Structures are given as C-alpha cells and as structure tokens.
Structure 1
Amino acid sequence: MSEFTGINPRRSLHPWLLVGLLWVVAALNYLDRQVAFSMFPLLQRDLGATSTQLGLVGTVFLWTYGLLSPAAGYLADRFGRIRIILFGLIVWSAVTWLTGHVRTVEELLWTRALMGVSEACYLPAALALVVAAHPDKTRSLAAGIHQSGLYSGVILGGVWGGWMGETHGWRMAFTVLGAVGIVYFIILFAFFRRHAEPSPGAVPHPLHGFGELLRNPAFLRLGAAFGLVGVANWLVYTWLPAFLVENYSLGLAAAGFSATFYLQVASYAGILVGGFASDRWQQSSSRGRILTQVIGLGVAAPFLFLMGTTKSFPILVLGLILFGLGRGLYDCNTMPVLSQFVSPGLRSTGYGLMNCLSCLLGGVMAGLAGYLKSQVGLAAAFQCSAAVLLLAVILLSALKPRPAQ
C-alpha cells in the first residue's frame, strides 16, 4: 500500500501525476545548477576567473546545499513536503535570474551559495513524497522516473547551456531560466492548493530524530556509500565539459553535448531497467534493491577509470555510456532502500543527512580537481574516483535488512 494516510479533506494526488509534476521541478533543479558548468570558459573570460575560482563555483554551491540539506529535510518531514518544495522553487528561480546580473567572481560565488541554500529544500522532500505515494511494488520505478528529471536537467544544462552561451551569452541563459522557474511556481502553487499530500506520521524532536538516524548502523553505511558516489558524480558534473574541450579539441557546445548526452541517456536506461527489475526482485528478496545498487556501481567504477585513461574518443563514449547505465541502477533505488531502514517520519531528514555528506565530499573533489587540473591534469581525478566507487560497493554489499524491515 501507499502511505497516503493524511486526513486532509482535499483530494489526494494520483501517485503517477505527482511524479509527472515533480519531474519538471527536478529538471529545473538540476538545469539551474548545471548550466554554469557548461559556461566555465565564458565565465573565465568575462569575469577573469582562475581555474581554482571556477572550482569554487561548484564547491560553494555544494557545501551550502549540503550543509542545509539535513535542516531542509527535517522541515519537510515536520511542516509538509509540498510547502518546502514550493518555497525552494521560487527562491532558487529568483537567484538564477540574479546570477545573470553579477559583475564579479565574488558576486557569482554569493549567488551560487544562495542557490545552494534554496535548492537544498527540494530533493529530500520530493523523493520522500514520491516513495510515500507509491506502494512497494512500484517505488523504485517511480523514484527512477523522477530521477530522470534530474538527468534531463543535466542534459539541458550542458547542451542548451553551451548553445545559449555561444549564441546569446551566459547572462541571457540565467535570466531565461529564472523566469521559467517563477512561471512554473505559479502553476504548481495553484495546483497543489487543491490537493492533499501523504502524512509522514510521527516526526520526533530534531535532536531525537537526528540521534535516531545516527545510531542506526545501516543508515550510516548507506550514508557513507552515498557520499562516495557523490565524489564521482560531482567530479563528472563539474569538470567533464572542460576535460573534453582540452583533451579532445571540442567546441563548447559539442563538449556540453558529449559530457551530458551519452551519460544521461544511458542513465535513463539504467533507471527504467533498474526500477522495473528491482521492484520485482524486491518482492522475492528483501535485498533485491540493495543488490541492484551493488551491480550498478560495480559496472560504473571500471568505466569511470577508463574515461581517465583512454585517448580514443569512441572508447571514452563507451565509458560514459556504461558509467551512466550503472549509475542509473544505483540512483533509482536510493530512497526506496533508505525506506527499508528509516521510519516514514524521518525519510526526508535521512536523505538530507546523506545529501550533506555527498555534497561535502563532492565539493572537496570539485575544488581539488581544479587544483589537479593545473598540476597533473584531470585524468588522475577520474581514476581516483573510480576507486572510491568500489569502496561504496563494499559498504552496500554488507547491508542486510531484517525481515520486519
């Protein structure tokens, strides 16, 4: 059964309609953050940014986003996930518009920090909302389809962002995106006013809630694995377009396309296949979703290493495809697996804590890669990240839900 147990007299959202509405928000969430990375060369030229400062564009966002994620997750559990989603959407859309009007690197870094604060409100609340709305037999597929919105945002951030930057300038790109987000907020606000959301059940005091999670060994393993995966993800998100420009002599738009399209299309396949298969595997084994994640990361790691070693562009594309496929198998099961070990009233909070660790580690890697780029090149950073994914495989392999979970 789903967890639509609230007593709100308003009509409840259909579970798949909810996924569709949130898919657009998810796409905007990642598009607004990702578009800056495809414009690094333009930002470096117009604002006079160094490679280290460009690395900080990713790091500042990730650290503020990550540090605020646990608090945003708890507020979603406590005061309503839809409220927190709407608040985040309107604020980050306004900040995106403001980014198009910055004049210095320092102002750019401030807007990235503000975007991190506002975007922290979305993902913990949205994933918990999707999982609560769907019965166990469709949770991974629903979470995966929602995840495809994030992938679409990454693709648009690379392809549309690169094209927009080359043809109309980076300022216009941020201005347009901010306006689109504000318009969709008005649509979503009007729609959600007429519908109820599922009740998460009892939500403990913040200290008790965080304490309960941090005393849970399974949650700690899940969080550590999620953080390690974040190292690899954010390295790829932040630096792959620049890596392709410098090592394969691609133009800005071509690099944005190659850095996002192959990987994200493969990730689409991974979340659909992984969501469908793990939902069915879970009906016969309580470890079905966990083992799907293990397989996914086991596939992704060696091909991430390959991306950092090959000089052949076709082989690089193969590595991107298989890395994306494996990542999709992992991503579609993140919240469904978390739900096996954490009570409904703490799922947004738990995901927020995991997101915090992922972003802090990912921010370190984004900044470190900026330093490595000027010293030994980015290939070494990709190779180290592949080894990190293998550690995540070991942590997930040890998870064994109790029958009651």
Structure 2
Amino acid sequence: MSFRVPARWIAFAVITLATALNYLDRQVLAALAPEVRGEFELSHAEYGLLVSAFSLAYALSAPAAGLLIDRLGLNLGITISVAVWSMASMATGLVGTFAALLAVRAWLGLAESGGIPASGKANALYLPPRERALGAALNQVGLSLGAAGAPLLAAFLAVDYGWRAVFFVTGALGFLWIPLWLVTARAIPPAREAPGAARSLPELVRDTRLWGLAAANVLAMVLFSLWSNWTTLFLVSEHGLSQAEANRRFAWIPPIAANLGGFAGGWAVHRMIRGAETQPARLRVCLWSALALLLTGAVPLLPSAGWATLAIALSFFFTTSMSVNIYAMPLDLFGAGRAAFAVATLTFAFGVMQTVVSPVIGALIDLYGFAPVCLAGSAAPLAAYAILWRTTAGLKIRRAQEADLEAIARIQRASPEAAQWKPRAYLAHDCRVAITERGVAGFVVLRRSAPGEYEVLNLAVDPGERRRGVGTALMRSVLKGRPGEFFLEVRESNHEAQELYRRLGFREAGRRPGYYTDPDESAIVMRFQSC
C-alpha cells in the first residue's frame, strides 16, 4: 500500500521552510550574543535594546504587512518579504557601530513582519479547517527549526570564520528559497481562494475577539520570547559555559522540544475535534499547557546545565503547544479573506510585548539574575488562557424573540443543509438563539410532539461562527432537564452534523428516502433517550 503526501502539504512545507529561514535570520544574533556583546562592549540591558529595535519595527509594520499580503496575494507578498529580510541579514555582517547594529535589526524586523502573516494566509488558502491546527503546528516546526539551526550554525561557522560570516550565509539562504517557492506555487496553486466578500477592515478592527486574541498572545508568548533570546546567555552566565559549548551542547535542544510541542498541540486538537467544533478543543489544549508552564519558575533552581536545559525544553514544548492553537484561532474566526491581517495583529502584539519586555528582562537579569524573570513568566500563560476563555467561549443562550427573526432567516438562508422553514413559525415552539458579541450566532427549534417526546425541527449556525461550540451549546440547552425521547432528521451527506449529534448521545434509528429536496437526498433519523 503506497502513501502519498497531498500536494497541498508539499506547498505548505515550502512555506514552512520560509518560516524556518525567517526565524533563523532573527535568532542568529541570540546565538552570537556573547561574542557580539564583547566586541561592542554591551550590557545585558543594551542587548535588550537590540531585541527591542527588532521587535518595535516588527510590531509597527506587522498590520501593514498583513494588509499588503491580503491585497497583493500570497506569492508576491512573501517573495518581497523574503528578499528584503535576506538583504537586512547580510547587511548585519557589515556593521561597525552599535547604532548601525540597531538600525539593521530594525530593518530586519520591518521585513520579517510579513513572514508569519504570509504563513497564516497560506494555511487558510491551502488547508481545510480540520487540518489548520496541524498547519499551525508545522509552521511552529519551521520557527523551531530556525531557532535550533541558529546556535548550530553559530557554533560551526563563527569559530573559524567569525560571527559576521553567519549573517552572510543566512541571508544567502533566503535568496535561494525564492525561486523554489515560485516554481512550487505555479505547480501547486491553492485549492481555495480567499472569498471575495471578506469582512471589511473596519468591521474586523471593531471585533473585540481579535483584540482578545492579541492580548492573550502577548501573555502566552512571554516565555517564547525569553527562551528564544536568552537561552545561550542563561547557560553562559548561570552555568559558566563558553558560548561555543553552550550552543554546541545545549542551546539547540529547547527549539527541538518546541517542534514536538507544536505538533503535540496541533495533533491533540486534530484528534479531539473529529469534524466537530475546534474552539473548545483549542481551549482545552491551551489550559493544559498553561498549567504545565507553571513549572518554569523552577528553572533557575536546577543544579546543572543539563537539568536546566531539560526544563527549558519542557517550557518551550508547552509554550508552542499553546501558541499553535492561538495562531490558528483567527483563521477559524475570520476566514481566509482577512487571514494575513488577523495573524499580523497577533504578530503585532507579540512585537509590542518584546519591545517593552526585552529591556526589562535585561535590567532584571543585571540586578537580580534570572529567578524573578522565570517566576513572572511562568504565570503569564495562565492569564492568557483566562482571556482566551472569555474571548472565545463568551456565548449566551436565550429564548428567541420577534427581534431575532431577521437574523434567524439570514442564518437559515446561509445554511442550505438546514431545513428551510418560515422563521416566524418557530416562535410557536421552543426556539432558542445563541448570542455572541457580534449578535445572533445560531438557533435551534424544538417541538413537543407528544408527552415525553420531542422533535428537533431545525439547527443552524452562522457560517462565520461555526466550529466554536455554538451548535453543541444550543443542543445541550434544549436537551438539559427534559426526560424523554428526542428525534431529528439530518441529511445523509451532512457528516459533521451527524458527528455532533452522536457526541451528544443520538443514535441512528432509521432512514427516510427522498426526504429532502434541492437537492434530493435521504434523511437519517436519529434518536436520543434522556433520563
């Protein structure tokens, strides 16, 4: 039996390679930090300013980069971005002053701000919703490979050729990637294009869910920023290793753990959803990860570089298992049409966080060491989870009212798989609506057909609110507290709805040939017995 990788995953793998180069170019400075600090006579706080210069430029340009990629399209947008950041990387090898180093780091940040939004755009265009968690995980693998490659490249090149040569090599790799992508994009175009009726930019900016995700991303990625930029310095200052020894023996291990964490977070969601809503599964993985990350506070207390590296690796593992799901949430909520801008908003938030936090981290390390930094960072992901829960799980169920009929009719028209009845007739039965901050997200209609017997007449969810637990919440609201038998009909082809009903306890009780029209299709009758 042969195994074939779907073409869409080959194309996305090439995009992931660009993500790896993006992070490689960014992280070589962290791997070379002891040598660069020595040549320019920098304190930890001044090194933090270098991180901030990159992060500020990255943050300020990320929304514009996302808009540009949405407007120009994936191919042209990512090609421009890779070319400009590769030039910035090579220019780093030519600097002679601290001011020039600050300038090229800002240039690199500006150019690299398009990398993650482009990857998010590719995820939305190439992959169906069920696979997007794995797509985000593969993208995280790219980030982690870049982070792991930086200390290895520094260890083997800097000793013989100097630290400047490392930047020349990383820049050249970017220019080699561009023709590879152009050939791939022509051979494997995306199976789905961004819809023409994408949400308007003002509407998206006003959506508080976007800013809730951005705030959660700030808190969840504090530890990612810490270990991405300070691992080598931690091993050198806390355990007395040389830069070469720290990079060769230990610093490459945590990014490998981040690879595994990204896959674990994506695969866990992939297995849990099984065609149902994604957001509850994503929240569950984020909670598990946030609780595990509380152990990060113990990293400075460990007795050896080996034990400390293991703890840092575990911290990186759970950070990335959380982050892949946070970065997938905008794709579920806002769709492919605004995917680049939505993801860019999260990268903007990450950049702002690094801009503010990096000098503070440096100053705290100069004064007190790593202990207070690790302790504060360990609590941040749990606060991020609280924001995520409030942002994505803020759903209210209530009885439908006259004022809801227009929204119910709109949702019904947008759901051809649902029954198409007159909405006003629903008010004679137990009709309930799900309310989010955007308004009515879905509805369910339950009719009492006999004492102790009920029929679910209709269930529909707004296409923009699907896979967030809305349908499950609506069904549970009408099943709860009602002993008796419940029946419903569902289209034979509507496998996702069938899976939802099975998870709630419904089982197939029969079939009705030709029950549906437009198109003609049989109905599966499902039954649930409530005690």
Question: Structure 2-normalised TM-score?
Answer: 0.69
What is the distance in 2 between the residues matched to 1:291 and 1:245? 37
What is the distance in 2 between the residues matched to 1:364 and 1:231? 11
What is the distance in 2 between the residues matched to 1:61 and 1:248? 28
How has the CA–CA distance of structure 1 residues 308 and 128 changed in structure 2, closer, same or farther, with 3 Å as cutoff? farther
| Residue 235 (structure 2) pairs with residue 241 (structure 1) | no
Q: How many residues align?
A: 389
Where structure 1 has 5 or more consecutive residues not aligned to the other structure, the ranges are 1-12
What is the distance in 1 between the residues matched to 2:295 and 2:151? 21
3-state secondary structure, aligned to 1:274 = helix
Amino acid at match of 1:17: I
Measured against aligned partners, the alpha-carbon deviations of 1:208-265 in whole angstroms (never above 9, x if no partner) come to 51x3233223222211110112322112211221111011011212323566433222
Amino acid at match of 1:322: L
Measured against aligned partners, the alpha-carbon deviations of 1:106-156 in whole angstroms (never above 9, x if no partner) come to 111111111011111111121221233112222211221122011000001
1:165 pairs with one of 137, 153, 158: 158
| Residue 66 (structure 2) pairs with residue 73 (structure 1) | yes
| Residue 118 (structure 2) pairs with residue 148 (structure 1) | no
Q: Contact 1:298–1:393 (CA<8 Å) still a contact in 2?
A: no
What is the distance in 2 between the residues matched to 1:166 and 1:357? 36
Q: Contact 2:221–2:350 (CA<8 Å) still a contact in 1?
A: yes
Amino acid at match of 1:68: S
1:209-358 correspondence runs (5 A): 209=201, 211-257=202-248, 260-282=251-273, 283-286=275-278, 287-300=280-293, 302-358=294-350
1:182 aligned residue: 175
3-state secondary structure, aligned to 1:344 = coil
Amino acid at match of 1:294: L
1:129 aligned residue: 122
How has the CA–CA distance of structure 1 residues 373 and 336 changed in structure 2, closer, same or farther, with 3 Å as cutoff? closer
Amino acid at match of 2:121: A
Q: How far is the alpha carbon of 1:21 from its aligned partner?
A: 0.8
3-state secondary structure, aligned to 2:15 = helix
How has the CA–CA distance of structure 1 residues 203 and 46 changed in structure 2, closer, same or farther, with 3 Å as cutoff? farther
3-state secondary structure, aligned to 2:337 = helix
Q: Indicate the larger mover: 279-288 or 14-23.
A: 279-288
What is the distance in 2 between the residues matched to 1:255 and 1:321? 14
2:112 pairs with one of 99, 109, 119: 119
CA RMSD of superposed structures (Å): 2.1
Q: Indicate the larger mover: 72-81 or 125-134.
A: 125-134
| Residue 97 (structure 2) pairs with residue 104 (structure 1) | yes
Quote the sequence identity (%). Answer: 24
Question: Structure 1-normalised TM-score?
Answer: 0.89
How has the CA–CA distance of structure 1 residues 245 and 145 changed in structure 2, closer, same or farther, with 3 Å as cutoff? same
3-state secondary structure, aligned to 1:333 = helix
Amino acid at match of 1:151: S
What is the distance in 1 between the residues matched to 2:354 and 2:268? 29
Q: Contact 1:262–1:317 (CA<8 Å) still a contact in 2?
A: yes
How has the CA–CA distance of structure 1 residues 322 and 191 changed in structure 2, closer, same or farther, with 3 Å as cutoff? closer
1:9 aligned residue: none
How has the CA–CA distance of structure 1 residues 265 and 81 changed in structure 2, closer, same or farther, with 3 Å as cutoff? same
2:196 aligned residue: 202
Q: Contact 1:65–1:359 (CA<8 Å) still a contact in 2?
A: yes
2:366 aligned residue: 374
Q: How far is the alpha carbon of 1:277 from its aligned partner?
A: 2.2
1:3 aligned residue: none
1:20 aligned residue: 13
2:402 aligned residue: none
3-state secondary structure, aligned to 2:246 = helix
Greater strand percent: which structure? 2
Q: Contact 1:290–1:337 (CA<8 Å) still a contact in 2?
A: no
Q: Contact 1:131–1:335 (CA<8 Å) still a contact in 2?
A: no
Measured against aligned partners, the alpha-carbon deviations of 1:166-220 in whole angstroms (never above 9, x if no partner) come to 3321111111111221122233234435553442223769xx51x3233223222
Q: How far is the alpha carbon of 1:93 from its aligned partner?
A: 0.8
What is the distance in 2 between the residues matched to 1:133 and 1:260? 34
Q: Contact 2:224–2:316 (CA<8 Å) still a contact in 1?
A: no
What is the distance in 2 between the residues matched to 1:241 and 1:190? 37
Q: Contact 2:155–2:244 (CA<8 Å) still a contact in 1?
A: yes
Q: Contact 1:227–1:358 (CA<8 Å) still a contact in 2?
A: yes
Where structure 2 has 5 or more consecutive residues not aligned to the other structure, the ranges are 1-5, 396-440, 442-460, 467-531
How has the CA–CA distance of structure 1 residues 343 and 59 changed in structure 2, closer, same or farther, with 3 Å as cutoff? same
3-state secondary structure, aligned to 1:202 = coil
Q: Indicate the larger mover: 77-86 or 190-199.
A: 190-199
What is the distance in 1 between the residues matched to 2:277 and 2:188? 35
2:376 aligned residue: 384
3-state secondary structure, aligned to 2:348 = helix
